[in-house]
Structure 1
Amino acid sequence: MRIAAELNQEEFGRRINYSSSTVSAIETGARPLDRMFLRRADDILGTDGLLASLLKMADRDREPSWFRPWLEAERSASQLRYFNPTLVPGLLQTANYARAVLRFDPTRPEEEVERQVAARLERQEILGRDQPPLVVAVIDESALRRRDAIMAEQLAHLLRLAELPHLQLHVIPADAGMYVGLSGPLALARSAEGGWVGHLENQLAALVVDAEDGIATLLARWEGVRGVALPHALSIALVKEVQSQHGPR
């Protein structure tokens, strides 16, 4: 496309604010593609977002096969429900928080960490759609009280998201005691046609659930965790209280 536009690497690089050596390295595969490069290339070449969208498709193809059905369900859902007793759900994470979570695996290369961070942030684009899904997230208070340098930023991000009219945030207070959700995180996606898909994670992989009996169990578990969580307004107040203990960002 650059050649068809009659641009050499130096002129093309000048127009997109990259060096000609960087353009050469990307075109020969010596340097990985990045979204900013492709967005600028689309602008200069008049390709209407084609290059950036191709990178998104490539990233999706690189996702584990067991995760792709959930990604499709999440992207097309009319309702989404997330619960996690230990972490902020992925759809609500900042880049720094996601990066820290992905680094739990010490064998994961840094380049792969950054690719997965970008993919996680891309999933969050559904929150800004013209017709976004209704998102209900339930988080255990303990996940918010982790004393970590990135938590002040993450808590501020949660409060901004909670202002969206299509996002409901609920916190399970520490004094709730034992409850059914402590056995592990879960997520549920409801399609426009009314069908449900569930998603469960463990230390090794994840499981997508669509069988009727499995969905019935997950919906019952969801009602259990939702039932012990605080209402939205009280949850926001609790998040603000926790945020104040972290000090300024």
Structure 2
Amino acid sequence: MTTINALDPGASPLDYYGYELRRLRETAHLTQRQLGDILNYTGSLVGQIETARKIPTPEFSVRADAALGSDGLLTRLVQLVLRSQLPAWFQQVAELEARAIEICTFQANMIHGLLQTSGYARATLGALDRTDLDDRTTVRLARQRIFEKEEPPVFWLVISEAALYQEIGGGDAMRGQLTHLLSFEEDPWINVQVLPFSAGAHAGLTGSFNLYRFASDPTIVYTEGYGSGHPTANPDTVKDCSLRYDHLRAAALSLKDSAELIRRAMEDRYGEQLA
């Protein structure tokens, strides 16, 4: 079992974070419990983070930097920590998301991770495996910080109407998730279109896919299988998927009509489940 005396800061970003947190705390002459009281967390949590047994959140890092006068060190480090905790096959995708100037995605069955709420993300991640669920949810939601950049990517989501009715996490979670989608209605950077059942046969029947566009690098198409991701810059694949996406966006409802459909789904399907 890892002990604080044996922590190797070179072992991983998580170990390095724990090492630096301990160094900063001891420099400030604070015990774990004292620091926890200042941050409004338990001393036990501080100890778990210092020993690389618990993943820090961005919120914890901001508070710790303020309390310890560390000039944003932990806030910067936490991004590396969270990226490193993603499945190895998905880390390249997170890098694509962070570098892209435009992300276009078609989702046939569920809300894309970049727009998921905590309740929805937790339910999807815990469908078959509930181990370390809090940490895994934190890691997934941390990807959404790309929208907090000074110049965030343009994000365009075309989602099947079916995803509005696939009840993931229960009625409360779904209502919260659909409310979250509606919160982007006036956001020029994040656009949500619904592909209605009435569209019939469409260009996305082969499955979900993402397009990542960059300022100078070639466009990347990304598709996903069970436990594996498949990015490619093959020009023929990019051309085909770009055409498919244009057709999907044309077949989908307008932004305004999509929002209205989301409202109806939320009220008709999930409204009665809440007080």
Shared fold (TM-score, shorter chain, > 0.5):
yes
Give the letter for the 1:34 counterpart.
P
Q: Tell me by how many angstroms 1:215 deviates.
A: 1.3
1:182 to 199, 202, 205: 205
> Are residue 110 (structure 1) and residue 131 (structure 2) matched?
yes
Identity fraction in percent: 33
Write the letter of the residue equivalent to 1:103.
G
Aligned length: 245
Of 63, 68, 76 in structure 1, the residue corresponding to residue 99 of structure 2 is 76
Q: Determine if the alignment matches structure 1 residue 226 to structure 2 residue 249.
A: yes
Q: Structure 1 residues 233 and 14 mapped into 2: Cα distance closer, same or farther (>3 Å)?
A: closer
1:126 aligns with 2:146: yes
Structure 1 residue 164: deviation in Å? 0.9
Deviates more, 1:5-14 or 1:215-224: 5-14
**Aligned counterpart, 2:9:** none
Specify the code of the residue in structure 2 equivalent to 1:89.
H
Uncovered stretches (5+) of structure 2, i.e. residues with no partner: 1-23
Contact kept, 8 Å, 2:223 with 2:230, in 1: the verdict is yes
Partners in 1 of 2:88 and 2:50 — Cα distance?
28
Tell me which of 162, 166, 178 is aligned to 1:155.
178
Change (3 A) 1:11 1:66: closer
Equivalent runs, 1:188-207 vs 2, <5 Å:
188-193=211-216, 195-207=218-230
Query: How far apart, in 2, do the equivalents of 1:52 and 1:100 lie?
Result: 27
SS of match in other structure, 1:200: strand
Q: CA RMSD in A?
A: 2.1
1:141 maps to what in 2? 161
> Residue 85 of structure 2 contacts residue 139 of structure 2 at CA under 8 Å; is this kept in 1?
no
Kindly indicate whether the alpha-carbon contact (under 8 Å) linking 1:70 and 1:197 is maintained by their aligned counterparts in 2: no
Task: Please name the residue that 2:258 is paired with.
Answer: 235
Give the TM-score, by structure 1 length: 0.88
After TM superposition, where is structure 1 displaced by more than 6 Å over at least 4 residues in a row?
none
* Offset from partner CA, 1:135-178 (integer Å, 9 cap, x none): 11100111112244121111100000232122221111111112
CA distance in 2 between partners of 1:25 and 1:125 (Å): 24
Is the 2:90–2:229 Cα contact (8 Å) retained in structure 1?
yes
> How far 1:10 sits from its partner (Å)?
4.2
For residues 195 and 96 of structure 1, what CA distance do their matches in structure 2 show? 35
Using the TM superposition, name which of 224-233 and 34-43 deviates more: 34-43
What displacement does 1:103 show?
Answer: 1.7
Separation in 2, partners of 1:66, 1:10: 37
Helix, strand or coil for the counterpart of 2:67?
helix
In structure 2, how many angstroms separate the alpha carbons of the residues matched to 1:24 and 1:90?
A: 30
> What is aligned with 2:271?
247
Whether the 8 Å contact between 1:84 and 1:140 is mirrored in structure 2 is yes
What TM-score comes out, normalization by structure 2 length? 0.81
Structure 1 Cα separation of the partners of residues 156 and 220 of structure 2: 15
- When residues 151 and 14 of structure 1 are mapped into structure 2, their CA distance, relative to the original with a 3 A threshold, is closer
Aligned letter for 2:236? D
Q: Deviations over 1:30-57 (max 9, x none)?
A: x414324433221111112212332321
Q: For structure 1, which segment, 10-19 or 226-235, has the greater mean C-alpha deviation from structure 2 after superposition?
A: 10-19
Return the offset for 1:128. 3.1
Choose 93-102 or 3-12, whichever is displaced more: 3-12
Structure 1: segments with no counterpart, 5+ residues: none
SS of equivalent residue, structure 1 residue 41: helix
Q: Which amino acid is the alignment partner of residue 131 of structure 2?
A: E
Higher relative contact order (Cα pairs below 8 Å, separated by 6+ residues): 1
Offset, 1:194: 5.8
The equivalent residue for 2:75 is: 52
Give the CA deviation at 1:21: 4.6
Distance in 1 separating the partners of 2:96 and 2:112: 16
Structure 2: which amino acid aligns with 1:154? Q
**CA–CA distance in structure 2, aligned partners of residues 171 and 20 of structure 1:** 46
Looking at structure 2, the residues matched to 18 and 230 of structure 1 have their Cα atoms a distance apart, in angstroms, of 45
